[in-house]
């Protein structure tokens, strides 16, 4: 049994959001894995617009909401970000949650699952750039769901069976990188 903990971070808090069904599907796909996958819904972490006076890289968090968020994220070895595409990017609430922290993201792995009119690909591209700055190793495999073909009436999530195999590839890559980076974080050499 793997001791890896992976957070599936649901990056939308909009009323009537499609992301909950997508995140639940990802969690269901991950149930067969050795790593432990848990859903983090940003609705449960109502962070105001970034209100820390000192940059997150200093690690001097003042707000109780920031400390609670930092404690949550620090416990994970990797992440699956589930993001909508809003205005050719990720959601503001997800970007804000990411911006609150620094060290808690470092030397961990991330995969991306997106949805939108063009599958959310542009949201993922922005998240890849953000991840680089936070020293998050993003994996190649991604899942992109189209509102036109993977949702009935743009609201009922109905992914095709091919996505299960794609999710397996995403999990394989993510767990491999998360395990390697866990060794980096504890200062042990990575096995070749």
Cα 106 from chain centroid (whole Å): 14
Over 70: is that where the pLDDT of 17 sits? yes
pLDDT in tens, 19-30: 999 999 999 999
Quick one: tokens of 188?
A: 């042990």
Name the pairing type of β-strands 136-146 and 108-116.
parallel
Cβ-contact 84, 155 below 8 angstroms: no
pLDDT of the residue at 189? 62
Confidence of residue 144 (pLDDT cuts 50, 70, 90): very high
| Closest alpha carbon to 40 in 81, 92, 68 | 81
Mean pLDDT throughout 44-62?
96
51 pLDDT higher than 90: yes
Read off the pTM.
0.95
pLDDT of residue 188 exceeding 80: no
Return the CATH fold of 5-185.
Answer: Rossmann fold (3.40.50)
61-83 confidence digits (pLDDT tens): 999 999 999 999 999 999 999 99
Q: Predicted confidence band at 186 (pLDDT cuts at 50, 70, 90)?
A: confident
pLDDT score at 187: 81
pLDDT at 157 over 60: yes
Q: Are 144 and 120 in contact (CB under 8 A)?
A: yes
Task: Give the pairing of strands 156-157 and 151-152.
Answer: antiparallel
**Side by side, which strands form the sheet with 108-116?**
36-41, 5-10, 78-84, 108-116, 136-146
Output the pLDDT for position 191: 55
* Higher per-residue pLDDT: 187 or 97: 97
């Amino acid at each position: 049994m793997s001791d890896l903990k992976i957070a599936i971070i649901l990056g939308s808090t909009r009323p009537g959001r499609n992301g909950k069904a997508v995140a639940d599907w990802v969690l269901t796909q991950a149930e067969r894995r050795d790593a432990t996958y848990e859903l983090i819904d940003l609705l449960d972490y109502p962070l105001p617009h970034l209100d820390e006076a000192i940059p997150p890289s200093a690690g001097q968090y003042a707000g109780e909401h920031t400390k609670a968020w930092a404690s949550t994220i620090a416990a994970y070895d990797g992440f699956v970000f589930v993001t909508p595409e809003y205005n050719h990017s990720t959601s503001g609430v997800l970007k804000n949650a990411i911006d609150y922290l620094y060290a808690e993201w470092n030397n961990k792995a991330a995969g991306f699952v997106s949805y939108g009119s063009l599958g959310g690909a542009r949201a993922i591209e922005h998240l890849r750039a953000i991840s680089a700055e936070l020293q998050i190793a993003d994996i190649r495999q991604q899942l992109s769901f189209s509102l036109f073909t993977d949702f009935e009436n743009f609201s009922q999530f109905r992914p095709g069976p091919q996505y299960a195999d794609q999710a397996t590839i995403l999990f394989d890559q993510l767990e491999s990188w998360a395990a390697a980076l866990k060794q980096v974080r504890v200062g042990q050499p990575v096995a070749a």
